[in-house]
A and B are shown apart, each in its own frame.
Chain A
Amino acid sequence: MKLFVEASPKLPIVSIAVAFRSGSTFDPEGKEGLCRTTARMLRRGCAGWDADALEARIDSLGGEFGADASPGATSAHAEVITRRLDPFLELCTKLLGAPTFPDEELGRLVREAKAELIEARDSDRTLAARAFRRTLFAGHPYGRRVAGTLPSLDTITRADVEAFYRRHYTKQNALVAISGDVTDKGAHEIAERVLSLLPEGEPVKDSVPEPTPPPGRQLIIVDKPERTQTQMVIGWLGTHGHDADHVAWLVGNTAFGGTFTSKLMQEVRAKRGWSYGASSRVGFERHRDAFTMWTAPSSTDAPACMQLELELLAELKAKGLTDDEVSFTKNYLERSHAFEVDTPRKRVHQPLEEALYDLPAGYHASYLERVRAVSTDEVNAALAKRTPLEDLVVAVVATNEDTGEGLGKALPGAKVRVDPFDLE
């Protein structure tokens, strides 16, 4: 078990995060959603407590307990008012170390999760993001849905949940981060206590292969009726903390679409008013994740907006950024860094994240120094290398009958696919 602590007595709250180095990439084929189901089952029953009694107890202690999954990790988060810490820890220890996974509760949770998947069809932004990921990471674990699918959730049994739990929820596979109203010594005792019922186990090896995205241009239109506005995601495989040009690329992205005044926002929103928001983002996982650009133009502006974004990318690749632009961005990153570490919780999550995602040692501690050291040439070399204009994925939620043709014309040479919005 690794422990990270950030003590601060300012508010009478203690916050505890327990992370396991195993995420949804361990879901067996056809059982997508197992990792997340296991995490959510923690609060559906544990030694001496049924689900109803547990819920009532957590609330009556003025506490919070939640657990969720990502591709690379399972994380439980607990928070409580300091004066109730002791009884709350007693409960957390059982929640993490002695879950009972009642059959009836599993059935209920699966039905709940399926209903949530159906409801998620209402969110166009989620639909665009899913279409993007299942295309960019086709055939790779990162392309599968952490929440599972309607058929896969149906196959999950109590034995599956139990087996996942036994293998992954161990002391050796755990990292703990504690912040707030505690002392360093108290935090050690808390960590020992909440993990005390878990077996020693061993660290679980991440055997996920490096993603290999499809070549060429892919356009996926998620066809949904009555759309006056589209949701558009453009992207490709991004960077990783171990890349030599990682920080150079982060600086480049920040200038391009990482802030309110970045180039993308200026061109799309400020100059043309085409989309309320416009941003780009570098995804984060143990292996290389996606780089994405997001906009939401009206249906009539969508083809022109896509074309503009492609032109901006081409210009970025060919010409890069100026010294002034790079200097501006470095100033922004350096001076705004205080907000990355302004609360105990944020401070403690940095080393946790570093250990959980196998980032280079001292990734966060040396971050500012590395930003300062980046040159314009390095930023432009990263932009030129990592902007593959001919190999990209574009996912758009739109009414195909009205907008599909225009979108197809805006992305010459693309392989076009139309997915119904209720595909998943």
Chain B
Amino acid sequence: MTGATDIEAIVSRLNAARPPARGVRYEGPAPFGQGMTVHRFALSNGLRVLVEIDAAAPVLCLQTWMRVGSRFEKAGKTGISHLFEHLMFGETEKSAHGAFDRLLEEAGGETNAATSLDWTYYHQNLPKTALALGLRLEAERLAHLVLREPQVASEKEVVANERRQRVEDDVDGAVSELLYREAFREHAYGIPTIGLMKDILSFTPEDCTEFYRTYYAPNNATLVLVGDVDLEETLGLVADHMGALEPSEVPLEDVHPEPPQLEERRLVVDKPSPTHRVAIGYKCPALGDFDHAPLVVLNEILFGGRSSRLHRRFVKELELATEVRGWVGTGRDPSLYDISLTAREDVTNERLLEVFDEEIAKVMASSVGEEELDRAKARLELGTLQSLESVSGRAETIGFYDTVLGEPGALFTKLEAYRRVTRADVLRVARRVLSSTGRTMVLVRPSGDEEEALEEGSEQEVATA
């Protein structure tokens, strides 16, 4: 185990050999569960560097987390954060299109990236021997990406196809987009991360360059390294490759908090789906809110596994649904407690909702049992530990919590918080979050059922997506 004194000595040696502008600062260890530690560093240009050393296998994971996602986008320019997730694998001033992936593949690496509401991250799984190459290429694309017409045009077409696959021709994707759009009328969480088709197709090289210069700067990023690395060698390489990156002035975010929702919002859409389905979004506390952990526990009680309340009622006892799912949003700002119910054949949305409302009323009326609370906590503990098995799982956890909460080890703070949740906490959070006036719903009818539904004199707004 490397101690704080050893690390200070390493940093001193590194700084003695470099100009101050390329200096490394040790910001101390952050506890990361039992027997694991994340060491925190910063470069003079503002880049945060987080390292967890694990020599169990000769591999490492290198991730770059950018503190930009679709929440920073404006009407007419939606999807630019996600487009970058693609552009960043393209041509740079020093290497041709495809060279990034080609070189890393030849070295035995694997790359990927993901974009969300609050962040974008880039991922390299590397054999330990490829660290220097991975860092060099990462620095190259952070500083010298080529964003001219052919590069942008080609990726726009790929993203348009991705949108067709994930949204236009995918019922769940299309419904999710509608749900967030309806739920968030002020806050940018209503913007679909992949972007609207017309916006995707209209991006220009100028749009991309401006975005790149503004947000892809070291002071807006965190580099995470997990695996079989030598700390001194790694920090030296990071300083050499990334120390010269120019910081930018990241503009103050023009946040528009979502005003309280005072009445239920309901959309009905027709889709070529074999069965009815319902998507429901309740406004939920932000990831850093005290009530986030109790809500995750409540979700586990309602939806976690086959012994959960809603699974038993919908799938087992009444046989109304094939699948019921709940997911508590992990946004930096209040986001959505996102629920979906998929009906069996011949079961209507109305019936799904009737039973759903009965279950929600129960959990708001009286506290959950001690035993089901304990089951939920045990499930969350297992899930947490499973996510830490691989170097990439740990890098993702460290990068995510650092980016959203500023605490790389917050997964374990969360785990502790789950353990402390009481029945009263669950009751409080159910009453706080599950109010029917604060919810948004999208009801999906199989195409062909619409005439019948309209004849019933529904007062629902009908939108065809």
Contact = CB atoms under 8 A, between A and B. Distances in A.
A403 interface: no
Contacts of A52: 307, 312
A11 interface: yes
B93 interface: no
Interface string B377-404: 0110110011011110000000000000
B162 A276 contact: yes
B323 interface: yes
Contact of A13 (B109, B127, B156, B382): B382
B98 A266 contact: yes
Given A336-B127, A339-B125, A118 B275 contact: yes
Interface string B413-450: 00000000000000000000000000000000001000
A296 B322 CA distance: 27
A206 interface: no
A226 B344 CA distance: 22
Interface in A261-320: 261, 266, 269-276, 296-298
B274 A60 contact: no
Interface stretch (B39-47, B56-64, B208-216, B453-461): B56-64
Contacts of A8: 56
Interface residues of B, number: 67
Nearest to A272: B157
B28 interface: no
Nearest to A225: B272
A115 interface: yes
Interface string A77-89: 0011100100000
Interface string B31-57: 000100000000000000000001011
B154 interface: yes
Interface stretch (A191-199, A213-221, A326-334, A377-385): A326-334
A297 B158 CA distance: 10
Interface stretch (B10-18, B68-76, B163-171, B229-237): B163-171
B102 A261 contact: yes
Nearest to A226: B272
Contacts of B382: 13, 62-64, 79-81
A136 B168 CA distance: 30
Interface centre among B105, B107, B323 (most CB of A within 10 A): B105
B344 A296 contact: no
B202 interface: no
Interface centre among A13, A334, A339 (most CB of B within 10 A): A339
A61 B381 CA distance: 10
Range class of the A interface residue count: 35 or more
B319 A298 contact: no
A121 B465 CA distance: 20
Interface in B311-353: 312, 315-316, 319, 322-323, 342, 344-345
Contacts of B162: 276
Contacts of A227: 169
Contacts of B307: 52, 55-56, 58-59
B108 A122 contact: no
A112 interface: yes
A338 interface: yes
A323 to B, nearest CB: 14
Contact of A336 (B110, B156, B319, B391): B110
B306 interface: yes
Nearest to A9: B35
A11 B394 CA distance: 12
Interface string B131-161: 0000000000000000000000011111011
A124 B371 contact: no
A417 interface: no
Given A260-B105, A273-B161, A55 B345 contact: no
Contacts of B129: 335
Contacts of A81: 378, 381-382, 385
Nearest to A275: B161
Contacts of B111: 260
Contacts of A10: 54, 56
Interface string B81-124: 00000000000000001100110011111110000000000000
Given A10-B56, A112-B315, A336-B127, A274 B109 contact: no
A338 B108 contact: yes
Nearest to A254: B105
A70 interface: no
Contact of B98 (A56, A60, A270): A270
B305 interface: yes
Contacts, number: 172
Interface in A203-259: 224-229, 259
B130 interface: yes
Contact of A335 (B97, B127, B154, B376): B127
A261 B109 CA distance: 12
B161 A274 contact: yes
Interface in A324-362: 328, 331-332, 334-339, 341-343, 345
Contact of B59 (A62, A122, A272, A342): A342
A331 B108 CA distance: 7
A296 B375 contact: no
B378 A339 contact: no
Contacts of B177: none
Given A56-B371, A119-B274, A296-B161, A335 B130 contact: yes
A229 B342 contact: no
Contact of B274 (A61, A337, A422): A422
B204 interface: no
Contacts of B102: 261, 328
Contacts of B366: none
A108 interface: yes
A48 B111 CA distance: 49
A90 interface: no
6 contacts: A55-B306, A63-B382, A80-B382, A115-B345, A228-B169, A328-B105
Interface of A: 8, 10-13, 43, 51-52, 55-56, 58-64, 79-81, 84, 108, 111-112, 115-116, 118-119, 121-122, 124, 224-229, 259-261, 266, 269-276, 296-298, 328, 331-332, 334-339, 341-343, 345, 422
Given A81-B382, A227-B169, 14 more contacts: A58-B307, A118-B274, A119-B322, A228-B164, A228-B168, A273-B158, A274-B157, A296-B165, A297-B161, A298-B161, A332-B108, A335-B107, A341-B57, A343-B390
The 5 closest A-B pairs by CB, nearest first: A335-B108, A273-B157, A62-B378, A55-B307, A336-B108
